Structure 1
Amino acid sequence: MHSDLHAASGDAHEPLRGGFTSTRFVLVEPSHPGNIGAAARALKTMGFSRLVLVAPRMPQAQSDPDAVAMASGADDVLAGAHVVPTLADALAGTRWSLAMTSRTREYGPPPGTPREAVQDAARQVGAHGDIAIVFGNERTGLSNDDVERCSALAHIPANPAYSSLNLAQAVQVLAYELRLAYLAAGEAGAALSAAGAVPAGSPLATSDDIERMYVHLENALIALGFLDPANPKKLMSRLRRLFARSGLEREEVNIVRGIAKNILQIKGRDRDDEAR
C-alpha cells in the first residue's frame, strides 16, 4: 500500500502550458543524485518539467540509482534534464531569473519571499517568455557571481533556529508557489482577453544580451579611467544591482551598449567585437 501523498487534480492528464512550459528550474553543482531525483518529482507534482543541471558533481546523475529511486515516477522529468557546464549556459535565452539563497548578500538584487518573487515571475513569463529559478549546491549554495547573474533574489523564511532546507524541499516550495501564481495569472489573463484588454509589454533583454552589455560597459569604464581593473572594488556589482532592479528591455540594453561603443570610439579603443 502506498503512503505517498498525491497532489489533487481535476484532470489526471493536465496539459502543460504558459509558465509551466516556460520556467526552468536550475540546480547549480548538485552533489547528491537523490536530491536531483527528488527535485524532478517535486516539479512533476506541480506540473513542471524543465530541469537543468549545471556541472553536477557526479557523472551520469540522471541514471544514478538513487536519483531514479527518489524520482518515484517522475522518470521522464529526470531523464529529460538538460546538463550544462555553466550557469550562463543554463540562463541562455531567459529574460528573467530568480536566485534562491539562504543568506543575506552585500551586493545583488534585494531579496524577497518566494510568494513575492513568484508574482514577478508570473508577470515576466506572461509577457516575455522563458524564466529560470536557480538553486545552489547543497553545502555552499550559490556564489556571489551566480547571484549577480540573476535578475532577482529570494529566500525561504524558514525557522531561524533550524533553517536548513533540503534542496528538493526548496524546489518543492517554489514549484508550489509558482503553480498557484500561474494558475491565478491564467485566470486573470483569460478575463482580460475576453474583455479585449490584454496589455502588450516591451520585450525584455535576454540574460546573454545583458551579460554582453556588462562586458561592453566595463570596457568603456576602463577606457574612461573610471574603473581601475587592478582595483575594481564593487563597482560592477553595484551596477548589476542597479540594472537588475530596472528589468532591462532589449532596447534599453542597446542604448547602454551604444553609449559604451561611442566612449570606446572616442578613446580609440573600440572593443565592440570583444563584447559581442
Structure 2
Amino acid sequence: MSEHSQVAMPAIVLVRPQMGENIGAAARAMLNFGLDGMRLVAPRDGWPNPKAVAMASGAGRVLDVAGVFDTLPGAIADCDYVFATTARGRELSKPVLSPERAMEQARAMTAAGRKVAILFGPERAGLENEDIARANAIITVPVNPDFFSLNLAQTVLLVAYEWRRQGGDVAHEVLANTDFAQAIEVEKLAEHFETELERAGFFFPETKAEGMKLTLRNMWTRLGLSRADVQRLHGILRQLLRARG
C-alpha cells in the first residue's frame, strides 16, 4: 500500500510567491519526498507560469493540480491546523517548533483525518505578521543566526524531508484525537468578536486598533480551538449580547 493511500498529505501553501522558478523548484522538492498538494496565494506573476513549469521538470504534475487563491484565508479555509514557517514572528506568542517536531505532529493529525497546511512566505521578506497570526504554530529551522536566509525551495525541501522521515509510528495522541476547528470556523469566530468589540468601542485609540485586532486574531489561532470550543464561544458572546440588550 502506498503512503498516499495510507495518510492524507499536508497542503504546502506558498503565500505571494514572486518567482516562477522558485515555485517550480518547490514543486520538485515536494515530489522528492512524496508531497503533491500545492496551493498558491496571489502569485506575483500570475498563473500558470511557464518559468515554474520549466523549473519543475519531472514534477510538473504538482503544478498541474495546484490550487490558486486570491487570499490566505481562502487557501486554508478547509484546514484544521496550520503551521507557518518563519524566522521572525516571535513577537506573536505561539508554539515554536523545529521541522522535526512539527512534522511529527502533522503526521499524527493527518493520520487521524485532520487537514494540515504549512505556510511558506514570499522570497524577499517571508510571511507577514498578519499571515502568521492565522497559523496555530511556527516552524523555525535552526540555521546559522548570522546568516538565516533560506531559499523558498530549500525551506520546502527541509520540511518535506522531515515529513517523509516521520513516516513510521507516531505518538501525539492528544493532538491527533482533537476535533480541531477548521480555519474558516476560527476566522468566523474572530470576525464575530471583532464586530461586537468594534461596536462596543473596544478598539481605542484608533491608532492602535489594527495592532489590537492582529493580537486578538493571533490569540484565536494560538489556542488550538476545537469545533466545540468555537460553538461555545459563539454562544457565550450571543448570550452576553442578549443580556445586555
What is the TM-score normalised by the length of structure 2?
Answer: 0.88
Please say if residues 89 and 132 of structure 2, whose CA atoms lie closer than 8 Å, have aligned partners that are also in contact: no
1 CA distance for matches of 2:192 and 2:113? 24
| Deviation of the 1:119 alpha carbon | 2.0
Which of 37, 42, 50 is the equivalent residue of 1:55? Answer: 42
Task: After superposition, give the CA deviation of every residue in 1:48-94 in whole Å (9 maximum; x if it has no partner).
Answer: 110001010112344x1x22222120111111111110111110110
Point out where structure 1 has 5 or more consecutive residues left out of the alignment: 1-12, 193-198, 269-276
2 CA distance for matches of 1:223 and 1:179? 48
Which of 136, 139, 143 is the equivalent residue of 1:154? Answer: 139
Corresponding position of 2:226: 249
Please say if residues 93 and 222 of structure 2, whose CA atoms lie closer than 8 Å, have aligned partners that are also in contact: no
- SS for the counterpart of 2:141 is coil
1 CA distance for matches of 2:106 and 2:69? 23
Which of 113, 117, 129 is the equivalent residue of 2:102? Answer: 117
- SS for the counterpart of 2:145 is coil
- SS for the counterpart of 1:72 is helix
Please say if residues 96 and 206 of structure 1, whose CA atoms lie closer than 8 Å, have aligned partners that are also in contact: yes
- SS for the counterpart of 2:138 is strand
1 CA distance for matches of 2:178 and 2:186? 16
Please say if residues 14 and 39 of structure 2, whose CA atoms lie closer than 8 Å, have aligned partners that are also in contact: yes
Which of 212, 215, 221 is the equivalent residue of 2:188? Answer: 212
2 CA distance for matches of 1:85 and 1:24? 16
Corresponding position of 2:20: 33
- SS for the counterpart of 1:244 is helix
Corresponding position of 2:70: 85
Which of 151, 154, 168 is the equivalent residue of 1:169? Answer: 154
Which of 91, 96, 100 is the equivalent residue of 2:81? Answer: 96
2 CA distance for matches of 1:109 and 1:216? 22
Please say if residues 109 and 176 of structure 2, whose CA atoms lie closer than 8 Å, have aligned partners that are also in contact: no
1 CA distance for matches of 2:127 and 2:135? 11
Corresponding position of 1:144: 129
1 CA distance for matches of 2:110 and 2:141? 21
| Deviation of the 1:122 alpha carbon | 2.0
Q: Which moved more, 1:32-41 or 1:212-221?
A: 212-221
- SS for the counterpart of 1:122 is helix
Corresponding position of 1:274: none
What is the TM-score normalised by the length of structure 1?
Answer: 0.79
Which of 266, 269, 272 is the equivalent residue of 2:243? Answer: 266
Aligned AA for 1:145? Answer: E
Point out where structure 2 has 5 or more consecutive residues left out of the alignment: none
Task: After superposition, give the CA deviation of every residue in 1:164-202 in whole Å (9 maximum; x if it has no partner).
Answer: 211001000000111122x1237x79xx9xxxxxx9824
How many corresponding residue pairs? Answer: 244
Corresponding position of 1:135: 120
> With CA pairs under 8 Å and 6+ residues apart, which has the higher RCO, 1 or 2?
2
Aligned AA for 1:247? Answer: G
Aligned AA for 2:230? Answer: V
Please say if residues 117 and 154 of structure 1, whose CA atoms lie closer than 8 Å, have aligned partners that are also in contact: yes
Corresponding position of 1:106: 91
| Deviation of the 1:234 alpha carbon | 4.3
